[in-house]
Structure 1
């Protein structure tokens, strides 16, 4: 029956079956002038719905005209006619529009002319207009009577600062056929300073007048039943309250169900701009910055309370089943969708769709639910809503409950165009499928497993958990009781269960609160395996995790195990996360959350063997570079706000040491230098101008503070700036000319060595290039002196005296170990005038320049690579030194896997071997010096 023509008739695809044949025959005769298909639709509809039959009789003339037009145009005309009505005729006009809209949308629905979303969208458009006209009319009357202080007649156009927020199905554009409309009425108190009390009373009168205008039953019927009970603390607050009062309520005592309600909230009448501003202030309340799995338990508890209150906990049956709140009903799908949105929507704004279908599809797109589950729930939701509409169309009743009699069910089956038996079977199947898809999500791990057998010492530890801060609340204890068997069962499989239990105990002891993270574990059991893995390998990382449990958000965020994105993508990601915060401190806290998630990701990937020590080292360095690149513009803008833009060409941040060489470990700090070029400028130009030197000193200190200050989310990095000219005694920021002059005439050989690893990370691009050109030229000039090797030898002697090796698996300090090899590599690069920064590249450069023989180069490279693997593993496990005699089995297994050795003795022997060989090579090249003097440039 479909064609390319857009008329109502050409788009008919279905029809009810007349339940009352006599009424159907009578109606067909009354509309015998219409096309047979249209007359058939009307007669079958009348044979199922006394309400719609009466509307056809009452609005027959208008209906004929509407059915002859394009359906969308007919509905638009209906709204346009309503909008043009004088205020004194508004009550009758609203009721006339509602009757016609009810009839027309029903026929579009029953005939398959409009899909569900277009039907509910049309009903919502009418509700929006009704609310807006009612508010503007009421406000205009208050202004006319002089009861709204300071307002003029023009102010009525935007409700004089009053707004109605559409909640629930109206907010989502999903009004059902006989819906209440849920509204929260607010006013912008900032427009009424000093007269807020009088304004409040005026807006309360407007709200009550609006409610009566929409809800009162007259000879013309009613428009919409209006419910104002979703406002803050409805039992004690007025029907319209200030936005400031509402915001204070949600910030202090707002509950999960209110957060869920505001997913769909939307300004629908009055001052829409003020309403949108208010909703933006609620974003932190609705959309939590961390994944919020505790919302699952809240939603589950709410479901159970609703079922208990309405006595819906009974066997599934067609008669009397509540299609909205009952088992497998509409609310189950809505709760499923909204709860998932609340969990993750704070981190991903793409999930904040107001509609149920849109929300499900957004969740599937971001892999929060499987695509097939999404599509099945969409199909079930639409089918449930159509049945709900048929129930309400019979008598325009606000009901969601199937009839209690077989005859009543037969009517609904006919209204759906189905034979009764097939309707019953299909309905029960859909309800069961909905229940199966949603129930496991809301009630994970409902059955508590028995505890495994525990040793005396283990039982003592487990019994002590109840005293920890994370388990103080009844709710946390309830969730953890369901989790505890899973934790202990997985612990029993660890290489050393007792050792892993002690580490897990440290993790639990350090948690400041438990509901959120325990809910997270319950919804994602694979995280328990990860926690046990971490506890069994790295107690330090487990303790870190207890203090920064929010980093687990990233594990289930969809991309935790994706390939490493690289510096560019990281900078974009970090800048986007910071941009979501409103102020400078908020942006720095956002940077800390973001950095910790990525830092934790690198550690987990290394721990689980997804990357090796060298990949992890590059990832840590990429992350640090991205943090600096993202934070630097933020710091520059903040200083510029106070003191004006950077005078001259600007400044560059140089990474030194391991950061410059792009090889960090889990515990690395950052060696930085800031170099600026005033280019003749004497001071900044801003609200509080500063001379060039204090300006750049303040800018540098602001960068250091941004990176190191302990904030609510901790700190980013420790920063060391001692590699700048003159070390601690020199200014924190160095002028370009001073830097050039110092390096050429005053710097010591060790400072030239440090420059072999310097790398520009952020700042003005041409200045970065100029500094790099200078670095290369300086290395060429300063590496040729006869005293270079003697200077390095003297420095090496002092370093080894100050930092001896501290254990069998010491990788960093001592002869032939990492610092010693790095020193030799830097020396080779300096003598060879090579721009290379990484150890292996510097050693290769030394080989090409005949500073090192091929065998010496290979010996140093082999030793360094083994020692770096040990060092990287060590820093992931502990801040101290690894002792193979006392370390845990999990940690030992990790180090052995990383180094490829069979056991601890073999690794100890190999470390001694490679360090000894490397030390002999370095001894041969640097020799001994007697005077202990080091040289600086002439």
Structure 2
């Protein structure tokens, strides 16, 4: 016996202390399995247990002394710890010798492959023999370090899959043979007549433990039995019961797998097999969080696998919510507590009797931690939808939801816990997760793990405690802080919160009561605490419900500070948040503070997201959710000084362009489905005005026109063909509707198409030849000015290039000062009358302000025949052509930049013109920072000076006709 013990290599339970070869087997299971296929079992042994019971160890050593020493040593040490495995060795000695002489993967395949030929009458016995052999072999591969955990559980899962699939198909074939499945033919048995078993839990994830039962949900595709669903269901119920008996019943050959069907919908009252329609209806109406978590791992494993995959696809919206779902944390926490209460698992960790699965720091803690995070974010990030625990943790770390070091540590603990779980079950093939109640029996498990009792206890205790620390803070809500003292006015506001819709449910109240002290502290830190509290009150009053967003705040405390910052600065943005709280998902989605992606990446991202959505209306809603998240990001970055007004304006324009670029193909495709593809080259959507110039603010609408070229094709070719002109008019209107229609997620943008030929009276879409003719022969000067900022956004590339060429030619042809200057002067007069300056900090309307400067810049571009679209480049073109002086350019740019910063900042704070006296401290501080002014008075003085200088230079350049404008503006000001 001493000799045997000397031959047993000592490999500590802690994976990090294993030899490099063993660690590689764990860290790279796929590579290890591939390379190992070329070697036999003996050459891959890296560890073995310490034999706890000398007598059976010696017996097995003698029985298998013909095997290589490392193999016979492993068998002996295993027998010294497990009476069950010792019995299997003695029952299958010849088979075991043969299996141990080949590559381990080939040995398991040699057990599973012949099952395909076993007839139904012998299938039960054949599966039991296969189970016995796979159980013995995987145990030895596990104990010897031949396979890492994933390959051990994978082999057990492959056996379960084969058993379910074969038994289901053979039993369905028997129902068909007896004429019990209506309308089915013999070949339908290959798809089990539309019946499928979904593997749930560990089986679905390929993670079956050593003595695991299997959780199945059995369904059938009712669409294959129109009018005969009742008879089909009766047959499938019989199949399910017979299959369960075949797998679960204990015979002289043992059993295959204990089978649990209780994860099906409403198991207490539903049959063991039900239709997919009935199951889908249940989950859509009353499905609970724990059922969503269960379906993370769900996988078709037997029968009609394609039908099973289609069913799981229909459940995607149920399992993976479109918004970040932090309510799942509270649900998981409540579930953990209920399990612990039911099992009496509270209290300090004591090794004897500790439940490795459900107890403190156990396997279920790691699984809950992983699955809950997956539920929170997996609806938005499909990369998180990994069925396995290890894969899920790695995906969460890759996406920034879990720190990589925490993920790595939990993976290490998870694998180690699963190994202990396997040793517990291997002793007597018991479906147990509990450590033995006696110290002597715990010592046996220590030996099974290759450790002394003292080392095993210390290592296991440390692991359990560490898992508890890593996971408990995520699940358990912290104790509420003490909030700040409130004034009577503030107390009255806070007391009124109880009546708001967001606090109707007790669950919302419970979460919010934990949050309220932190919220009030954050608001109190604002420079204008009363204003911040009032804005938060407006935000809270506007929330239609509160559980989701309060859970979001509870799990992400920095969001509370962000909300307080927004409330202290921009009540408008706070109100926007109350109506679109889903945009906060983006803040914690991992990319909120990443560099701006640009219009190309944005349009590609939106297009990809819309491609994943089948329904047209849902695509439009999906576009709205996506746009609002990015729009909110720009506003927050601007508000917090991460970008300035000009960077924000470019980003708003990029976002709008990306929406149009991604939506136009969706609209066109939907329209073509009814009326056929667009005639000829189709159409091009042009951005006009500020969108064409690539500079929008937070409240900008979109100026668009559509130009088409049917190339002589009179009508479309589709189910309901349309003549070319009404075709393009209607598809253009469809685009406008797609952008402007109020839907569940609101609207995207307001759209203005008045810059098309003939304005409101003209057709909404214009033929290319008509557009050219109109621009050359009929268009007014203001329309040529508008053309200076026109830019093709999306459509046929050759048509877009032709339109751009035409734009440049027209600008060159229409550069006639004698006509342009009087027209512009008259236009300027009309604008001054229609839209005078209305406030001290007016930035847009009035002489010397944005519209006035933009009008002059467009005039300069037109007179120069220059294609530049932005104000800066247009003014530069005016200098080059001699229309403007360098001093003009400097003065006009100074006024333009100040006015733009003021306008862009104002539109983030308010829908209309800001009033300095009512702006509030936070908003005022933001604007002063944006324009780099030390005080409101300094801003007013500087604005008046630069606007006056700009007005003087504009009037001088537009000639005598502008003198009237100056006089009339002066009288209006008086």
- TM-score norm. by structure 1 comes to 0.98
Give the deviation of 1:530 after TM superposition: 0.8
Q: Displacement, 1:81?
A: 2.0
Distance 2:962 2:405 in 1: 77
Separation in structure 2 between the aligned mates of residue 860 and residue 215 of structure 1, nearest angstrom: 86
**What residue in structure 1 maps to residue 598 of structure 2?**
566
Q: Which residue of 1 aligns with 2:25?
A: none
Return the offset for 1:927.
Answer: 3.4
Residue 340 of structure 2 aligns to a residue whose secondary structure is helix
Which of the residues 226, 231, 256 maps onto 1:223? 256
Matched, 1:33 2:63: no
Residue 343 of structure 1 is matched in structure 2 by 376
- Among 477, 490, 505, the residue aligned to 1:458: 490
1:857 maps to 2:889? yes
Aligned mates of 1:139, 1:360 — CA distance in 2: 39
Instruction: Give the match for residue 103 of structure 1.
Output: 136
Q: Tell me the residue number matched to 2:439.
A: 406
Q: Report the alpha carbon displacement of residue 857 of structure 1 after superposing the two structures with TM.
A: 1.1
Q: How does 1:566-715 map to 2 (within 5 A)?
A: 566-715=598-747
User: 1:909 is matched with which residue: 941, 949, 954?
Assistant: 941
The answer on whether the counterparts of 1:183 and 1:227 sit within 8 Å (CA) in structure 2 is yes
- Please give the alpha-carbon distance, in whole angstroms, between the structure 2 residues aligned to 1:928 and 1:554: 54
Match of 1:327 among 340, 347, 360: 360
1:83 and 1:173 map into 2 onto residues whose CA distance is: 21
> How many residues align structurally?
932
| Equivalent residue, structure 2, for 1:936 | none
Write out aligned runs for 1:537-576 (5 A).
537-576=569-608
In structure 1, what is the equivalent of residue 24 of structure 2? Answer: none
The answer to whether the 8 A contact 2:955-2:962 is kept is: no
**CA distance in structure 2 between the partners assigned to 1:33 and 1:795 by the alignment:** 105
Tell whether 2:126 aligns with 1:126. Answer: no
Looking at structure 2, the residues matched to 314 and 662 of structure 1 have their Cα atoms a distance apart, in angstroms, of 63
Gaps of 5+ in 1: 934-938
Paired residue for 1:818? 850
Partner of 1:261: 294
Q: Does residue 484 of structure 1 match 2:507?
A: no
Q: Distance in 2 between matches of 1:815 and 1:443?
A: 61
Find the residue that maps to 2:961 and give its secondary structure. coil
User: For 1:411-430, what aligned pairs fall within 5 Å after superposition?
Assistant: 411-430=444-463
Q: Specify the alignment match of 1:884 in structure 2.
A: 916
* Alignment match of 1:59 (pick from 72, 92, 96): 92
**Displacement of 1:932:** 9.8
Per the TM alignment, residue 31 of structure 1 is displaced from its structure 2 partner at its CA by 1.3
Query: Would you say the 8 A contact 2:683–2:795 is kept in 1?
Result: yes
2:304 corresponds to 1:279: no
2:874 is aligned to 842
Matched, 1:870 2:902: yes
**1:788 matched to 2:820:** yes
Cα 1:783–1:8 shift into 2, 3 Å = same
1:923 aligned onto 2:955: yes
Name the SS of the counterpart of 2:757 in structure 1: coil
Structure 1 residues 903 and 271, CA, compared in 2 at 3 Å: closer, same or farther? same
Structure 2 CA distance, aligned partners of 1:149 and 1:823?
78
> How far apart in 1 are the matches of 2:136 and 2:115?
16
CA distance in 1 between counterparts of 2:633 and 2:118 reads 62
How far apart, in 1, do the equivalents of 2:962 and 2:830 lie?
12
3-state SS, counterpart of residue 584 of structure 2? helix
Separation in structure 2 between the aligned mates of residue 209 and residue 807 of structure 1, nearest angstrom: 83
Paired position in structure 1 for 2:829: 797
- 1:86-165, aligned counterparts within 5 Å? 86-165=119-198
1:296 corresponds to 2:329: yes
d(CA) in 2 for partners of 1:676, 1:802:
34
- Which consecutive unaligned segments of at least 5 residues does structure 2 have? 1-8, 10-20, 22-34, 966-974
Query: Which deviations, in whole Å up to 9, do the C-alpha atoms of 1:691-713 show, x marking residues without a partner?
Result: 11100000110010010011111
CA shift for structure 1 position 930: 9.4
Match of 2:107 in 1: 74
Q: Give the aligned partner of residue 429 of structure 2.
A: 396
Structure 1 Cα separation of the partners of residues 915 and 332 of structure 2 = 49
Cα distance per residue 1:715-745 (max 9 Å; x no partner)? 1100000010110011110111111111111
> Cα distance, 1:537 vs. partner?
0.6
Contact 2:657–2:793 (Cα < 8 Å) also in 1? yes
Q: C-alpha distance in 2, partners of 1:721/1:211?
A: 67
Q: How far does residue 923 in structure 1 lie from its aligned partner after superposition?
A: 1.0
Contact 1:263/1:338, CA 8 A, preserved across alignment: yes
TM-score when normalising by structure 2: 0.95
Q: Per-residue deviation at 1:92?
A: 0.8
* Counterparts of 2:384 and 2:755, CA distance in 1: 47
The answer to whether the Cα contact below 8 Å between 1:794 and 1:932 also exists between their aligned partners in 2 is no
For residues 421 and 790 of structure 1, the distance between their equivalents in structure 2, rounded to whole angstroms, comes to 98
2:47–2:145 Cα contact (<8 Å) kept: yes
Aligned to 1:432: 465
* Cα distance per residue 1:325-364 (max 9 Å; x no partner): 0000000000000011111111111110100000000111
Q: CA deviation at 1:85?
A: 1.3
The offset of 1:583, in angstroms, is 1.2
Paired residue for 2:840, among 808, 831, 839? 808
Pick aligned residue for 1:315 from 348, 358, 367: 348
Shift of 1:883: 1.0
| Corresponding residue SS for 1:929 | helix
How far apart, CA to CA, are the structure 2 residues paired with 1:336 and 1:84? 43
Superposition deviation, residue 82 in structure 1: 2.0
- Matched with 1:7 is 40
Tell me the distance in 1 between the aligned counterparts of 2:177 and 2:265.
30
1:83 is displaced (CA, Å) by 2.1
Q: Does 1:737 align with 2:769?
A: yes
Paired with 2:517 and 2:200, the residues of 1 have a C-alpha distance of: 42
Distance in 2 (alpha carbons) for counterparts of 1:74 and 1:222: 21
Q: CA deviation at 1:26?
A: 1.4
Cα deviations by residue, 1:309-335 (Å, 9 ceiling, x for unpaired): 100002111001000000000000000
Cα distance in 1 for partners of 2:570, 2:918 equals 13
SS of the aligned residue for 2:893 comes to: helix
Question: CA separation in 1, counterparts of 2:385 and 2:439?
Answer: 42
Where 2:436 maps in the other structure, the secondary structure is coil
Whether the 8 Å contact between 2:825 and 2:962 is mirrored in structure 1 is no
* Native 8 Å contact 2:684 2:799 kept in 1: yes
**C-alpha deviation, 1:928, in angstroms:** 4.3
Secondary structure of 2:366's partner? helix
CA change 1:806–1:394 in 2 (3 A) is same
Is 1:176 equivalent to 2:215 in the alignment? Answer: no
Q: Secondary structure at the match of 2:818?
A: coil
Q: Deviations over 1:92-135 (max 9, x none)?
A: 11111111111110000001110000000000000000001110
Q: How much has 1:787 moved relative to structure 2?
A: 2.2
SS at match of 1:605: helix
Cα distance, 1:87 vs. partner? 1.5
The 3-state SS of whatever aligns with 1:614 is helix
1:48 corresponding residue in structure 2: 81
What SS does the aligned partner of 2:300 have?
Answer: strand
Cα-to-partner distance string for 1:868-923 (whole Å, 9 max, x where unaligned): 00000000001011111121100000000000000000001111111111111111
Q: Distance in 2 between matches of 1:932 and 1:154?
A: 92
User: Which residue does the alignment assign to 2:280?
Assistant: 247
How far apart, in 1, do the equivalents of 2:768 and 2:42 lie?
80
Question: 1:528: which partner in 2?
Answer: 560
